[in-house]
Chain A
Amino acid sequence: MTMIERARKRRMHRNLVAGAVAATLSWTVAPGAIADPVDEPTIEVNGGEFSLPTRVEPADHVKDALPEVMSGWLFRDADTRAMQLDDFENQGMIFADSGAEAWDTVEGTEGKSCASCHNDIESMKGVRASMPKMNEAGDDLWSMENFINDCRVNRMGAEEWAWNSQPMKNMTAAISVQSRGLPMDVAIDGPAQSWWEKGKEMYYTRFGQLEMSCANCHEDNYGNMIRADHLSQGQINGFPVYRLKDSNVVSIHQRFVGCVRDTRAETFKAGSEEFRALELYLASRGEGLPIEGVSVRH
């Protein structure tokens, strides 16, 4: 092969590649409509036992960022959405049931179960909707996991559960289900305000080798596809979620770890100050959205 032939071949190859790229672009842009979130006003669970609004007006502190606050349910496939409509088909409820059993189980040196102090688990109604919040001493922002471990160690004399351990996720699922349908409403004033500011700063800070912030996907591009995935607003009202990918419930911080890792960054640890601050900020972005109990996502 002469040098000229070789050069011509290279040029042809280059043109072919350019053509392929153009074709791909036009293909991804054209059917934009299929990437739109579905137009369902409510999630009707158990044939209407719970009617959960999917879109709410944004709170004052997120008005500039989001025109409308939307449940992640709207962005999922029809099959995935359907699983959440019936508690029997929602496999997350298996884990919530295990958590409810653990609620009545005596553990630790004090001979107590959760029920010994808190009575029926239904007394936890509303708890999930206000999490995370400042602890009683007022010196730290706690997620539900912190409150559970505080009870276990200081009142039951039992061992701490690891943040993403199965018993912990079962318990947070069981407690969250009690608040299903209640609107998210976290305190972001007073001592929580500095945490909220920190969370907000994290939300807009680019992390990792890909230099992506939460906002790049979940504020600027929700409704668009990121490769094969349909980006939602990243709301946390459905957590803990049953994730089909894991065949298990997934905690809020576990999901944070996944997102930050995907930016090719060293992630913060589940339960860290950073993630608790981010959790508070995200909860405030979803203010007004109903707790979806254990939701189902892909």
Chain B
Amino acid sequence: MAENVKPRVKVPKSASAGEVITIKSLISHPMESGQRKGPDGNLVPRSIINRFTVELNGKNVIDMQLEPAISTNPYIEFDAKVDEAGEFKFTWYDDDGSVYEETAEIEIS
């Protein structure tokens, strides 16, 4: 189990209907590639976030597969077109089976 994993997201509080907004996400995670050797000479087992998804009111916005070459504390920024108010749900899937979740509300102004 990766320690001190903490998800953070940044979503504008409101947008006009049909507006394209920028969403930023960051999660603290060691993203151990599984290729490095520890002080004892043995391989450090792989431990990464392997999938990241975002939904708006249950509808998929982005679904991303992450690979070991992605560095520590993955920062993901993307644009999304917003047609309705509601809740963004962010989900990170860890190799060890842990799932980290975060949500953010958005209003239509």
Binding site for B on A (CB under 8 A): 88-89, 91, 94, 97-98, 247
Contacts and interface: CB of A to CB of B under 8 A. Distances in A.
Contacts of B10: 88
B75 A91 contact: yes
Contacts of A89: 24, 26, 75
Contacts of A91: 26, 28, 73, 75
A8 to B, nearest CB: 50
Interface residues of B, number: 11
B6 interface: yes
Contacts of A88: 8, 10, 24, 26
B59 to A, nearest CB: 25
Tell me the dominant secondary structure on chain B's binding face: strand
Contact of A98 (B6, B26, B71, B75): B6
A183 to B, nearest CB: 30
B26 A94 contact: yes
Interface string B9-28: 01000000000000010101
Nearest to A98: B4
Given A88-B26, A89-B24, A94-B28, A247 B72 contact: yes
Interface string B53-88: 000000000000000000111010000000000000
Which of B4, B6, B10 has its CB near the most chain A CB atoms (within 10 A)? B4
